[in-house]
């Protein structure tokens, strides 16, 4: 496939469009990463809750173990302190749930901010580029193998009527008579439409 034209005008337009597409992807990837970092900053309360809950859990666990060593009331005191340990575990679970929710939101937001703009490119810019590359490659092959009659025929069937009206004589009649000048002029016009140089 031939991705770029030979003629400077069309070549610069293609390069500009490709650079714009690359800048578009870069912008949205950068924006997605910034958004992800911003959302992930919201996990700080969850981290604090997890640390506080962990500390509470450990403190009450140690206190309950020591309380059980107290004669007579140690068992009941230990059970009471176990509730504090359970509260710490609950706090840890709540913190982890918040962290998971924030991380999941950050992940899907990042995916959406990258996938939607890239999908937009895939359905707009990329098909046009691939279509041009295929057409230009086929046209260049006809030029290189000197099949000017086929290029001229393509020009006759695809060029606007105002373009064909510029010929002094009927270009279709000249093509049928295999008039070399007419065939070469039509072929050159078709090559120009694709942004390709005429055959040497």
Stretch among 81-90, 132-141, 176-185 having the lowest mean pLDDT: 81-90
Residue 60, judged by CB atoms within 10 A of its CB (0-12, 13-18, 19+), counts as: buried
* Nearest C-alpha neighbor of 139 from the set 87, 53, 147: 147
pLDDT at residue 40 greater than cutoff 70: yes
pLDDT band, very low/low/confident/very high, at 72 (cuts 50, 70, 90): low
pLDDT at residue 19 greater than cutoff 90: yes
Check residues 46 and 103 and name the one with the higher pLDDT: 103
pLDDT at residue 77 greater than cutoff 80: no
pLDDT value at position 117?
95
pTM above 0.75, yes or no: no
Distance set, CA 171 to CA 9, 51, 53, 151 (Å)? 27, 84, 87, 13
Structure-token match 């099949």, residue found: 147
Q: CA angle 9-11-15, nearest 5°? A: 120
Q: Note the pLDDT tens digit of each residue in 160-171.
A: 888 777 777 788
Question: DSSP state, 72?
Answer: T
The mean of the pLDDT values for the chain is 86
pLDDT value at position 74?
65
Q: Note the pLDDT tens digit of each residue in 124-152.
A: 999 999 999 999 999 999 898 888 989 88
* Nearest C-alpha neighbor of 141 from the set 67, 62, 199, 89: 199
Structure-token match 């009206």, residue found: 165
pLDDT band, very low/low/confident/very high, at 35 (cuts 50, 70, 90): very high
Q: CA angle 177-182-183, nearest 5°? A: 80
Q: What is the largest CA-CA distance in the chain?
A: 120
What values do phi and psi take at 125, rounded to 5? -70, -50
């Amino acid at each position: 496939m031939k991705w770029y034209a030979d003629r400077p005008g069309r070549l610069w337009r293609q390069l500009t469009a490709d650079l714009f597409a690359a800048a578009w992807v870069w912008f949205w990837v950068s924006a997605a990463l910034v958004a992800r970092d911003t959302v992930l900053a919201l996990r700080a309360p969850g981290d604090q809750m997890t640390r506080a809950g962990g500390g509470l859990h450990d403190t009450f666990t140690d206190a309950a173990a020591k309380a059980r060593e107290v004669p007579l009331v140690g068992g009941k005191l230990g059970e009471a302190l176990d509730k504090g340990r359970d509260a710490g575990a609950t706090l840890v679970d709540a913190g982890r749930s918040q962290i998971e929710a924030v991380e999941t939101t950050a992940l899907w937001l990042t995916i959406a901010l990258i996938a939607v703009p890239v999908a937009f490119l895939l359905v707009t810019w990329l098909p046009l580029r691939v279509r041009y590359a295929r057409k230009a490659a086929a046209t260049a092959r006809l030029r290189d193998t000197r099949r000017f009659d086929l290029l001229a025929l393509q020009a006759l069937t695809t060029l606007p009527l105002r373009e064909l009206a510029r010929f002094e004589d009927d270009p279709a009649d000249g093509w049928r008579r295999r008039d070399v000048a007419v065939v070469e002029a039509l072929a050159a016009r078709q090559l120009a439409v694709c942004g390709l140089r005429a055959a040497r």
